Amino acid sequence: MHQITKIAGYVTIILAVISFNFFLPRFMPGDPLSFLTGAPGMDMPIVLDEATRAKLLAYYGLDKPLLQQFADYMIKLMHGDLGWSTYYNAPVSSILAGRLKWTLLLIGTSTLLYIALGIVLGAISAWNRGGKSDVGLLLLLLSVGSFPPFFLGMLLIILFGVKLNLFPVFGAQSPFMAYSSPVEEAMDILHHLILPATTLVITHIGGVYLLMRNSMLNVIGEDYILTARAKGLAEWYILRKHAMKNALLPITTMIALRVGFMISGTILVETVFAYPGVGMLLFDAVMYRDYPLLQGAFLIITLVIIAANFVADMVYLRLDPRLRHD
């Protein structure tokens, strides 16, 4: 029953996002094409050739009634047709497909890292509450957490990329590189990944850390921790075996929501590092006022996040023994 409500909720949200994506350009003053051809206030008017213009017109289908337009839009979406990019002059879906893997790589690695680190540091902090390590960690993580990701990225570029010359400062791979082995390619990709991933980890670790610390402070006061102490178990063992899981349960869904916030950071970080993911694409689409691309990228990003939240919900159901059996 619980799962059905959850799934229904997700379906509604996906539908809401799709409808929003459909109606937004149509409800703006003027019509979508007037934006494309340089509406007043735009700093960069776009000149469209006739062929592109025709493709766009066909995609939006503005001459048909609104309901018909919506139905067509949905059908095209089912077939993976996200429209035609005016800047790249290619189907939006194929551009996105090429970019998505880099974003997933970047988000995947940094998410795993910042969640794991945040949880461990939060637990350690709470366990030593009021002590030097707790106060130190709290101040450090609150401080680094207030760096906007784009500013932090620029600082890391200057320090590690330019001054120390340790890491490449843009792209996901070295350009024009012929790899002699897959290992070499992987190393090159990893080398490019380190700075952007570090930026994301630093900007997001504070949130998870604080959640875990607060949750852990609650758990520490629980009777079963006292029971564990009364058994003569070592502190470290109690922390790991008795406290961590109980502290994690109530914050799983909140951590999952943070994965959603994460995408904001990714857009900025990809832009700063010219990392060729969907976020960078979003920035390009804004720069060149490529609206179909913008909307396509938005849709994909949102769906990825909703999927991540869904997975987190399911994980939560498996984690809590009280929910697993019922």
Partner 1 sequence: MTEKTIELTDLRRLWDTYSEKRIGVIGLVIMLVFIVMAVFAPYIAPHDPYELYNPMEPPGPDHLLGTNDIGQDILSELIYGARVSLFIAFFVSIVSGLIGTILGLLSGYYEHVGFFIMRIVDAFLAIPRLPLIILIAAFMRPSIWNLVIIFTILGWPITTRIIRSEVLSLRTRNYVEAARMLGAPDSYIMIKHILPNVFPLLVVRLVVEASHVILAESSLSFLGLGDPTAKSWGMILHYAFMYPTIYISDVWKWWMLPPGLCIVLTILSLMFIGYALEELVNPRLRGMTQV
Partner 2 sequence: MTLLKLKRLRTCFPTRDGLVKAVNTVDLEIGANEILGLIGETGCGKSILGMSIMRLLQPSTRIEGEIIYKGQDLLKLSEAEMRKIRGKEIAMILQNPATALNPVLTVGDQIAEAIWLHQTMTKREAREKAIEVLRSVKIPSPEKMANECPHKFSGGMKERAMIAIGLACNPALIIADEPTRGLDASTKEQIIKLMKEVTEEKSMLFITHDLDAAAEICDTVAVMYAGELVECAKTGDLFGKPLHPYTMGLLDSLPCRGLKPIRGMSPSLIDYPSGCRFHPRCDYASAICEKKHPEMVKVEDRHYVRCFMYL
- Taking the least distance from each CB to partner 2, the nearer of 79 and 322 is 322
Region near partner 1 per CB under 8 A, out of 131-139, 185-193, 242-250, 317-325: 131-139
| Residue selected from 29, 175, 232, 236 as contacting partner 2 according to rule CB under 8 A | 232
Measured between alpha carbons, how far apart are the two ends of the chain, in Å?
A: 10
Q: Which does 287 bind (CB under 5 to 8 A by kind): partner 2, partner 1, none?
A: partner 1
Q: If binding is defined by CB under 8 A, does position 322 make contact with partner 2?
A: yes
Name the DSSP class of 85. Answer: E
- Block residue for tokens 């930026």: 199
Sign of CA dihedral 210, 153, 263, 46: positive
Q: What angle do CA 13, 92, 197 make, to 5 degrees?
A: 75
Alpha carbon distance 233, 227 (integer Å) = 9
Is 273 a binding residue for partner 1 by CB under 8 A? The answer is no
d(CA 100, CA 153): 21
13 is in the binding site of which of partner 2, partner 1, none (Cβ under 5 to 8 A by kind)?
partner 1
Torsion of the alpha carbons at 120, 124, 130 and 135, rounded to the nearest 10:
-50
Q: Are 73 and 26 in contact (CB under 8 A)?
A: no
Which of 129, 141, 80 has the alpha carbon at shortest distance from 239? Answer: 129
Instruction: Indicate which of partner 2, partner 1, none lies near residue 233 (CB less than 5 to 8 Å, by partner kind).
Output: partner 2
Q: From partner 1, partner 2, none, which one binds at residue 311 (CB under 5 to 8 Å depending on kind)?
A: none
CB 148 within 8 A of CB 139: no
Among 160, 222, 252, 306, binds partner 2 (CB under 8 A): 222
List the single partner that 77 binds among partner 2, partner 1, none, CB under 5 to 8 Å by kind: none
What is the per-residue burial (b if ≥16 Cβ within 10 Å, else e) of 189-224? Answer: eeebbebbbbbbbbbbbbbbbbbbbebbeebbeeee
The one among 247, 272, 281, 312 contacting partner 1 by CB under 8 A: 272
Residue 294 contact partner, candidates partner 1, partner 2, none, CB within 5 to 8 A by sort of partner:
partner 1
Query: Given the rule CB under 8 A, which residues bind partner 1?
Result: 9-10, 12-13, 16-17, 21, 24-25, 28, 35, 39-41, 43, 129-130, 134-135, 138-139, 142-143, 145-151, 154-155, 157-158, 161-162, 169, 214, 217-218, 257, 260-261, 263-264, 267-268, 271-272, 282-283, 285-287, 289, 291, 294-295, 297-298, 301-302, 305-306, 309
Query: Given the rule CB under 8 A, which residues bind partner 2?
Result: 222-224, 226-234, 237, 241-242, 245-246, 249, 320-322, 325
